[in-house]
Amino acid sequence: MFLQRLRDTNPGLAAAALRLHREGLVRANTYLIDLDGTHANASIMAAEAAKHGLSLYVMAKQFGRNPDALRTIAAAGIDSAVCVDVQCMEAVRRSGVRIGHVGHLVQPHRGTEDAVIAATPEVVTAFDVEIAGRLAAAARRAGRVQDVLLRVRGPQDTYYFGHAGGFPLGTIEKAAAEVEALSGLRVRGVTNFPCMLADAATKTVKATRNFETVLEAAARLRTAGFEITQVNAPGTTSAGTFAEQARLGATHVEPGNGFHGTTPLHVLDPSQPEVPTIVYVSEVSHLDGEDAYVFAAGYYIDKVLGDYRLTALVGAHEEPLEVETADAGTIHYYCRIPGARSRGVRVGETVVFCFRPQVFVTRGRTQAVAGIRGGALDLREVYDGEARSADGVA
């Protein structure tokens, strides 16, 4: 989906990926991250957010919580992360980046509450009073008061499968009072997801009904006397969405794919300022008949705009070749390049993809490289999907 945009706006990353794999410095099944480009993207986003009075939390799951990328984004001025789950929190802590938000989208499971509080997050999201009670007990054990966001659900809100949950909008004042009454917690805001979604017809990103729920909940809680300092409105976020999110009333948003230029808006509107800064590097494993098979343990495309034709750069071939993938729900051992033998594709050749990734749900590794724009490449450490060192691991 983003391969042509990569070639148009950041060709140095494609060239570096091909070269580094060919020289044996980057292995197959690695997401290669351009640190210079990521810093530039983050700087654009930090400046745009400041212009609109928005606070940003980094969503790092898409790029595998890579510590070098996280620290690069922090150096650009966005130094606090949102953790999609407890594993993400642990990975971010290992990178040394500050924890901003825990518990959204995935709630802390039983037995993790003390670790969550010990991470000293700015806020933790709670979906119901029982979960809030466990967090409150952990906060009391730690001798501190933890600020929380209430996940609010309206009757007309829509969710991806498995994402639903939260306090009913109709009784949000009662719920907030119950949570606030728990010694150790303080209600400071509201959130929901997705608050923004791409609209292919208009080629824009629009607010959803979920966003309206968040805004209504915040207004009602303020009227009821609660000090609401955070209206968190995540979903399909990049510099091009900040003005609208701020205009509607958001105080905090949580960009992820925006940092490496692979949101739906970057497909719909080529004028968006962020460029692609992440590629998936693989290689041809073997040939079978006319087809080539490509290692794909880390392959996973977030198809927010539906199915599309997938292509990849292969070795020295000038033009991208079409690639076929397994159906959803199938283990991705390989992708397939049909008709590869007659095109001269050989075993061991480099294959470079550029799509919208979700590295944390794959068996892929990440590795960052600096210096693409200056010519002297500085290749960094290899990490697994939990941001643990994988240098020297086969």
Q: Which residues contact 202 (CB under 8 A, 6 or more apart)?
A: none
Rg (CA), the chain: 22
Residue 216 has pLDDT above 90, yes or no: yes
20 in helix, strand or coil? Answer: helix
The amino acid occupying position 116 is: V
Residue 330 has pLDDT above 90, yes or no: no
**Cβ-contact 238, 258 below 8 angstroms:** yes
Q: What's the pTM value of the predicted model, to 2 decimals? A: 0.96
DSSP per-residue string spanning 299-340? --B--TT----EEEEETT-SS-EEEB-PPTTS--SEEEETTT
Residue 226 has pLDDT above 70, yes or no: yes
**Tens digits of per-residue pLDDT, 351-394?**
999 999 999 999 999 999 999 988 799 999 999 988 999 987 76
Query: What confidence score (pLDDT) does residue 394 get?
Result: 66
The amino acid occupying position 335 is: C
**Cβ-contact 298, 32 below 8 angstroms:** no
Q: Which residues contact 169 (CB under 8 A, 6 or more apart)?
A: 152, 153, 154, 155, 213, 216, 217
**Tens digits of per-residue pLDDT, 249-269?**
999 999 999 999 999 999 999
Give dist(CA 42, CA 61) in Å, integer: 16
The tokens 């990849």 sit on which residue?
A: 312
Q: What's the burial of 297, exposed, middle or buried (CB within 10 Å: 0-12/13-18/19+)?
A: middle
Look over the chain and give the mean of its residue pLDDT values, rounded to a whole number: 96
Give dist(CA 44, CA 274) in Å, integer: 8
Q: Which residues contact 10 (CB under 8 A, 6 or more apart)?
A: 34, 37, 261, 275, 276, 277, 372
**Tens digits of per-residue pLDDT, 155-214?**
999 999 999 999 999 999 999 999 999 999 999 999 999 999 999 889 899 999 999 999
Query: What confidence score (pLDDT) does residue 42 get?
Result: 98
**Tens digits of per-residue pLDDT, 96-152?**
999 999 999 999 999 999 999 999 999 999 999 999 999 999 999 999 999 999 999
DSSP per-residue string spanning 123-170? EEEESSHHHHHHHHHHHHHHT--EEEEEEEE-TT----TT----EEGG
Give dist(CA 372, CA 190) in Å, integer: 41
Q: Which two tokens stand for residue 92?
A: 């971010």
**Cβ-contact 350, 22 below 8 angstroms:** yes
**Cβ-contact 175, 157 below 8 angstroms:** no
- DSSP secondary-structure letter at 171? G
Opening angle at CA 220, ends 218 and 226, nearest 5: 75
Opening angle at CA 79, ends 73 and 85, nearest 5: 95
Residue 76 has pLDDT above 70, yes or no: yes
The tokens 């290749």 sit on which residue?
A: 379
